[in-house]
Structure 1
Amino acid sequence: MEKRHLSLIFILLILSVTFAGCITQTNIKTETLVLPEGNYTTIYLNEKDTSQCPASKVPVTFTYMPPKNESITSVSLRGSFNDWAEWPMQKENGAWSITVCLEPGRYEYKFFINGEWVKDMSSDKYGNPVDPEADEYVDDGFGGKNAVRIVEGSMGFVLEHNPGDPAYLCVADNRTVVRFKTKPGQVQSAVLVTNLGEYEMSLQLWWGSGEMWRVELPFVEPIEYYIKLTTPDNEEFLVLNTSTDAFFSFDGSNDFPQVEWVSKGVGYQIFPDRFNNGDPSNDALALQTDEFWFNELIEDRPILSNWSDPITPLHCCHQYFGGDIRGILEKLDYLQELGVTFIYLNPIFLAGSAHGYDIYDYYRIDPQFGTEEELKLFLEEAHKRGIRVIFDFVPNHSGIGHWAFLDVASRGKESPYWNWYFIQKWPFKLGDGKAYIGWWGIGSLPKLNTMNPEVKEYLIGAALYWLDFGFDGIRVDVPNELINADEFFSELRQRVKEKHPDAYIVGEIWQLSPKWVQGDKFDSLMNYALGRDILLNYALGTWNGERTLELLGRYFASYGENVVAMGFNLISSHDTSRLLTDLGGGRFGENPKPEAIERLKMLSTLLYSLPGAPITFQGDERGILGEKEYYDAHRYPIQWDKVNEEVLTHYRGLGMLRKRIPALTSSAIKFYTAKNGVIAFFRGHENEVLVLANNGKTSTSIVLPPGKWKLVWPTEEGIFEGEIEVPPVITLVLERE
């Protein structure tokens, strides 16, 4: 009797481990994978056929017909579909054209003619459209107009799955995630058939032209697999690799590992000169190396201000206030109370401006911020509190006070650093952006020649130096501007991860752009495409719930779940107006409007409830206002004697919520519904958390998923079943009972 009892307990333990997802290949029977018998329609996804686009994309031809008697030597296509990079067009019979494969959607673009942008695609110098085949023309934000092409969806059954793309197969939260994309309403049910068993797939995301289906396997092991699915009219399909190699495969190795401390973290961005002044004795050192002393075309001089002095026209770049490393050290306990687990520092290396993006020496901390000893102490104290620190890395350009550039300016081609930059004429005056290539033509930011092996080694060596020093990751400035971006950042990643496998590498890319996060360059991008393009517009009431969920669907379908989990998710930063100002809260120096505060609370809760790490720009948690248009007023020093306690208490609560609810720091998200101003989605691997946000001005009733749901935010009062009334301008978080 006792033996039978022990045997039963053992069986129950095995079952509990299995259903908890703790399965490895050692307790799963491996079978030889064979195709089923029956009347199935077979789809081969990787048959070699270069004559047409993949089933999910449409061939689109762009044509440029030059005006008569115009001398055209080159034409390229640049648009939102290729991150505004160049796709050369070919000339035939007097016209320049290119055919590309695009998914259904709306795309903005311009032609790049003879090495120059077309200013206005709607009208050339003769008043004719540059591309008369465009569907419309829109403001490009720079005084010109982009053309717009609207691509309609193709007919017939469409399915997309590529095991080489983390959007379709990745390891996230130590699980194997397999997904496929299809057109809306084409699939009724789907099963992932593997040599380790069959796993039911479910609809995860949707948007106007597509759906994403998903399954997670509770192990990371080598598998062979195919997909079996049924359509709404009961037609059955087998989705296979090729006719000669039927099964997809995964070798079980995690080639793009998730940086888990980011996934579970809360980030905070610090602009050092404007955060906190801990050592007034080093304040004046900022003036000694300012760019104005080097720039031969400018007569202005930098100024040193007291912490509460008014904003001047130099506020952006050459008005210093004295913030430093010791000042950040003094606020570590404050940051810990916010739930912050990592800090992103704007540049702290020797430079010629308050923003620090014109670096003079990549291996030296700017004396205005303190000493290396103080920096080491700061990192040690941060680490004691469980706070990691990433630094800003600027490989595209230096400042004009950089020792190599000064040598070039002085000695011309006699300088050993002549090929470190792109000099167009010499001699030149420092600051003359026409004499050498600068970032966006700015003379104070000469562009570095990263094709030069010496420059590449100097820059990558600097990144490794500071990681060895004690930093935990790198934020890369304007990576898309490098002339050899793919090669440079592939090598940077390889060398960084070899020495510091847990280091976080994030690139400043503002658009939705999966090509940067395929496992060979960055772990994540600065997700303005999520925070500003989608969430901010939702919080402003620009879009209703249905439209917002569709945009979120496109976003989350574009990236691997491992990438989404490492998301650097921000809405405001040193490059944007403050969050409260963007939400209509008012201008710098005013008291924020109450409705804007409510929208801030709704929006920040939403940000903290999504996969990835929410990032707060310094002071947003204190209810500060500031518009970028007013001399970058959003960068004004934090006045520590002033705070909106309601906002600060809210952010502290969000930090505690992330720690208390593990599902909110998982990689998993699944859509539930959208109605009026409401969006609703699940979090967690068992859909154990439900998040509902309402941007509308009236309450909306939502039918709840089966079971009982406990409200855990913004209060912990109430258990709901059947349906729930979602009040206006709020985000609710519920946990399954």
Structure 2
Amino acid sequence: MNKHTFLILASLCIFSATAVFAQNQKNNVSQWPRGITYEIFVQSFADSNGDGIGDIKGMTSKLDYLKNLGVEAVWLMPINPSPSYHKYDVTDYYGIHPDYGTIEDFKEFTREAHKRNIKVVIDLVINHSSSSHPWFQEAVRNENSPYREYYVWTHKDDPQTQKDGKPTGADSDNTTHWHKVKDSDYLYYGYFYGGMPDLNYDSPKLRQEVFKIGRYWLTEMDVDGFRLDAARHIFPDERPQDNHQWWVYFRNEMQKAKKDVYLVGEVWAPADIVGPYLKGLPALFNFDMGYAITKAVNEEQAGDLVKNHKKIRDFYASVNPDYIDATFLTNHDQNRIMSAVNGDMKKAKMAAALLLTLPGSPYLYYGEEIGMNGKKPDEYIREPFLWDMKTKDKSRTTWVQPNYSTESTVVPLAAQQKDKNSLFNHYKTLVKLRNNSPALTYGELVPLNVAPKNVSAFLRQHQDQTLLVLHNLSKEEVTLDLPQEATQFNRVHFKTKGGKVNKGTVTIPGSSSLILEKN
């Protein structure tokens, strides 16, 4: 046996130790937007010019990595000019932040992404602008400015917005939504804080301006869609129906520019509040599922995770049968999943397995696949991606000194790629499994009851493929008898460890997954 042949056989053995497939895998059956999307904070992802700040050219250089991982789209956190590091307070809706590059850099990124069949979704922050935006600056200087109606104003003596000499609208953080203009008797509305004045969607001129912005990015810049920040707060909370109707209006206008435009909304609320938004936003983030997965893996109890997920999906389907369930573990506003499971690698792997085998169109937060840590404040859940050891890593950003994701806590990607048991290879294997499976990508969810409470059991069924999915959330091996409706599942389709099935009895090692199909 020559050296080349030996290496090929060795690599095959390594893969089979990680996962077992009962059948030869087909080409991807997944088609975005039902596929997997990767969320990127550009500032922390990849630096191309050595200034310590992630940029668009850096992202472009990593597109082959994303393609190899199996993602079908990227969602970019804000890329517009802004005075803040996070850029959720925009000063120019048509520009690129100079730290990130140029318009031409972005066009090149989009072209290269599309060559790899990767869609591009950008954060569109249209609930508010920056207080440094020229619109707002002009409106403050001149009460007769045409931009005055782009924002929401009140007078200090207005009883509708004032009580006991103070602005009303205090939120849970003990701040106010009304903010005083310096050397003026006027106040302006800013739901989040004074640096982010809300835009006034009662203004027809403002609405047309926003449509113009959307059309520009869809046509001139060729993006495939938008993630809509703070979608619940376009109008005040006491006007939910106006919020719902606005997004129907917005979607109709965007479809004139790009028929298959993708819109995913951030409505951080329980399902009953989220549901009505699906009329205008066909994709919405499923915050409930992320919380439920984290709870299940931490408690090592299946609980009602699957039943509740089906209940929410059935409710959403009653509002919009074609809705897209944007599932995820955690995102840029939450403690990272690895920190949420207290650094327990087995629990992190189980969380990934649940996300990628339950229904939905999953989002992965950059660095999640290598186990990056992170806890509030926000800067420290958005730390630099670790591509390689620091001495070799020319792409690593340095804009912030990391507190949680360092080489002492996270194995860099380059090393994980060589380790068959790494979290990265676990994610990559599960992504490939999902992408190649009609049932896991498109299948209906059927919860199953099994005796061990630490086993999550469910069917995924789509047309000719039905799979029985079993996750042992505990660290101990479990043996169980399959329920009557699942006894025909007697062949291993996939496993992460040495699970086995014999005449309706299944053995699943601790912290592992087993997927069965019928003979």
Q: Which residue of 1 aligns with 2:144?
A: 414
How far the C-alpha of 1:565 sits from its partner, in A, is 6.8
Contact 1:267 1:342 in 2 (8 A): yes
Q: Which residue of 2 aligns with 1:436?
A: 188
Q: Residues 693 and 605 (structure 1 numbering): CA distance in 2 closer, same or farther, change over 3 Å?
A: same
Q: Residues 429 and 716 (structure 1 numbering): CA distance in 2 closer, same or farther, change over 3 Å?
A: same
Hey, what's the Cα distance between the residues in 1 that align with 2:256 and 2:144?
37
How far the C-alpha of 1:564 sits from its partner, in A, is 8.0
Hey, what's the Cα distance between the residues in 2 that align with 1:609 and 1:431?
57
**Does the alignment pair 1:462 with 2:192?**
no
Contact 1:663 1:688 in 2 (8 A): yes
Hey, what's the Cα distance between the residues in 1 that align with 2:38 and 2:263?
16
Q: Which residue of 2 aligns with 1:74?
A: none
Hey, what's the Cα distance between the residues in 2 that align with 1:672 and 1:583?
26
Q: Which residue of 2 aligns with 1:623?
A: 371
Q: Which residue of 1 aligns with 2:487?
A: 706
**Does the alignment pair 1:634 with 2:381?**
yes
Contact 2:37 2:75 in 1 (8 A): yes
Larger Rg: 1
**Does the alignment pair 1:531 with 2:309?**
no
Q: Which residue of 1 aligns with 2:264?
A: 506
Contact 1:430 1:443 in 2 (8 A): no
Q: Residues 428 and 680 (structure 1 numbering): CA distance in 2 closer, same or farther, change over 3 Å?
A: closer
**Does the alignment pair 1:673 with 2:441?**
no
2:329 to 571, 589, 603: 571
Structure possessing the higher relative contact order (Cα contacts under 8 Å, 6 or more residues apart):
2
Hey, what's the Cα distance between the residues in 2 that align with 1:351 and 1:499?
26
| TM-score under structure 1 length normalisation | 0.54
> Equivalences for 1:470-481 in 2 at 5 Å?
470-481=222-233
Q: Which residue of 2 aligns with 1:424?
A: 154
Hey, what's the Cα distance between the residues in 1 that align with 2:337 and 2:186?
37
Q: Residues 713 and 504 (structure 1 numbering): CA distance in 2 closer, same or farther, change over 3 Å?
A: farther
How far the C-alpha of 1:433 sits from its partner, in A, is 13
**Does the alignment pair 1:378 with 2:148?**
no
How far the C-alpha of 1:399 sits from its partner, in A, is 0.2
Hey, what's the Cα distance between the residues in 2 that align with 1:666 and 1:467?
27
How far the C-alpha of 1:404 sits from its partner, in A, is 0.6
Hey, what's the Cα distance between the residues in 1 that align with 2:436 and 2:153?
56
**Does the alignment pair 1:340 with 2:340?**
no
Deviations 1:227-252 (A, max 9, x none): xxxxxxxxxxxxxxxxxxxxxxxxxx
Tell me the number of residue pairs that the alignment of Structure 1 and Structure 2 aligns. 424
> Equivalences for 1:95-106 in 2 at 5 Å?
none
Q: Residues 702 and 565 (structure 1 numbering): CA distance in 2 closer, same or farther, change over 3 Å?
A: farther
Hey, what's the Cα distance between the residues in 2 that align with 1:527 and 1:621?
19
Hey, what's the Cα distance between the residues in 2 that align with 1:371 and 1:381?
15
Q: Which residue of 2 aligns with 1:602?
A: 350
Contact 1:568 1:615 in 2 (8 A): yes
Hey, what's the Cα distance between the residues in 1 that align with 2:309 and 2:259?
30
How far the C-alpha of 1:531 sits from its partner, in A, is 1.3
Contact 2:282 2:323 in 1 (8 A): no
Contact 1:545 1:674 in 2 (8 A): no
Q: Which residue of 2 aligns with 1:447?
A: 198
How far the C-alpha of 1:619 sits from its partner, in A, is 0.7
Q: Residues 638 and 404 (structure 1 numbering): CA distance in 2 closer, same or farther, change over 3 Å?
A: same
Hey, what's the Cα distance between the residues in 2 that align with 1:677 and 1:564?
33
Q: Residues 667 and 560 (structure 1 numbering): CA distance in 2 closer, same or farther, change over 3 Å?
A: farther
SS in 2 for 1:364: coil
Q: Residues 717 and 490 (structure 1 numbering): CA distance in 2 closer, same or farther, change over 3 Å?
A: same
Contact 1:612 1:667 in 2 (8 A): no
Q: Which residue of 2 aligns with 1:318?
A: none
How far the C-alpha of 1:527 sits from its partner, in A, is 1.1
Q: Residues 724 and 539 (structure 1 numbering): CA distance in 2 closer, same or farther, change over 3 Å?
A: same
More strand by percentage: 1
Q: Moved runs in structure 1, 4+ residues, more than 4 A?
A: 425-434, 514-519, 561-565, 715-720
How far the C-alpha of 1:485 sits from its partner, in A, is 1.4
Hey, what's the Cα distance between the residues in 2 that align with 1:527 and 1:494?
23
How far the C-alpha of 1:494 sits from its partner, in A, is 1.0
**Does the alignment pair 1:560 with 2:335?**
no
The share of aligned pairs that are identical, in percent, is: 30
Instruction: Say what the alpha-carbon RMSD is for the aligned residues.
Output: 2.6
Hey, what's the Cα distance between the residues in 2 that align with 1:394 and 1:723?
52
Hey, what's the Cα distance between the residues in 2 that align with 1:475 and 1:525?
9
Contact 2:247 2:277 in 1 (8 A): no
Question: Which letter maps to 1:474?
Answer: F
Structure 2 runs not aligned, ≥5 long: 1-29, 157-178, 236-241, 389-411, 417-421
Hey, what's the Cα distance between the residues in 1 that align with 2:512 and 2:251?
40
1:660 to 413, 433, 436: 436
Deviations 1:434-464 (A, max 9, x none): 8321123x11001110110111111122112
Q: Which residue of 1 aligns with 2:124?
A: 393
Contact 2:290 2:327 in 1 (8 A): yes
More helix by percentage: 2
SS in 2 for 1:386: coil
Contact 1:564 1:667 in 2 (8 A): no
> Equivalences for 1:13-32 in 2 at 5 Å?
none
Q: Which residue of 2 aligns with 1:520?
A: 279
How far the C-alpha of 1:553 sits from its partner, in A, is 3.6
| TM-score under structure 2 length normalisation | 0.76
Contact 2:350 2:512 in 1 (8 A): yes
Q: Residues 546 and 640 (structure 1 numbering): CA distance in 2 closer, same or farther, change over 3 Å?
A: closer
2:304 to 544, 547, 567: 547
Question: Which letter maps to 1:723?
Answer: T
Contact 1:546 1:674 in 2 (8 A): no
Question: Which letter maps to 2:349?
Answer: K
**Does the alignment pair 1:648 with 2:407?**
no
SS in 2 for 1:268: strand
Deviates more, 1:267-276 or 1:631-640: 631-640
SS in 1 for 2:440: helix
Hey, what's the Cα distance between the residues in 1 that align with 2:185 and 2:361?
38
